[in-house]
Amino acid sequence: LVMATQNPIEQEGTFPLPEAQLDRFLMHVRIGYPDAEVESEILRLARDRARSMLETGVEAPVAPIERMSIEDVFAARRHVLSLHVAPAVERYLVELVLASRDAQRYDAALGRRIAWGASPRGSIALERCARAHAWLAGRDYVTPDDVRSVAADVLRHRVLPSFEATAEGWDGGRLVAELLSRVPLP
């Protein structure tokens, strides 16, 4: 398992990965700033921790992390892989990926904006993440909404804009959003 972060402010010494290497990442999740409620909670936690350190002279211990056993991880993987994916849902998922490679079928302008579509690795990742999304929701079947819910995070780094699209302000996330709006639901 590899998790990577990229700080958009300080990039000295870091370089963007080539497309073939990006394709090996399961998801590209964008995490923005916290909302006001979460920011207030961060302030409260930092303040309480600082007060505790002033009072005791020792940094307050952090609550122990609850860990899953390897058996639990493998059991969860088995459950996720056993979820039912109806043929129509699988076809929808495949059609989204195929549309990223040949968007001309849906919209000529969108087709010109996509330089490279998602590889078969993208199809695999989309299906696995849709299954995990359904499992986390407590269901034993995958819906088109599960596919749609994870599509941006799974495909945004796999659907690459053309040079012209980049100049117009398009990125992978916007392209995926357009694909989702054009590929009909089953």
Q: If you count DSSP H runs as helices and E runs as strands, how many of each does the chain have, helices first? A: 9, 2
**φ, ψ (nearest 5 deg) of residue 6:** -135, 125
pLDDT 10s digits, 159-183 = 999 999 999 999 999 999 999 999 9
Per DSSP, 159 falls in state: S
Give the pLDDT of residue 137: 97
d(CA 171, CA 165): 8
Hey, what's the torsion of the CAs at 26, 28, 32, 38, to 10 degrees?
A: 0
Domain boundaries, the chain: 33-66, 68-186
Whether the Cβ atoms of residue 154 and residue 129 lie closer than 8 Å to each other: yes
Pick the CATH number of 68-186 from 1.10.287.3510, 1.10.8.80, 1.10.10.10, 1.10.1740.10: 1.10.8.80
Whether the Cβ atoms of residue 118 and residue 158 lie closer than 8 Å to each other: yes
If residue 160 lies in a helix (H) or strand (E), which one and from where to where?
A: strand 160-161
pLDDT 10s digits, 50-105 = 888 888 777 766 677 788 899 999 999 999 999 999 999 999 999 999 999 999 99
Whether the Cβ atoms of residue 130 and residue 147 lie closer than 8 Å to each other: yes
Alpha-carbon 68 to chain mean position: 22
Whether the Cβ atoms of residue 186 and residue 89 lie closer than 8 Å to each other: yes
The pTM of the full predicted model, rounded to 2 decimals, is: 0.77
Q: Which amino acid is at 123?
A: S
Please, what's the largest Cα pairwise distance for the chain?
A: 67
Which parts of 9-69 fold into alpha helices (H)? 19-22, 36-56
Q: Is the pLDDT of residue 144 over 70?
A: yes
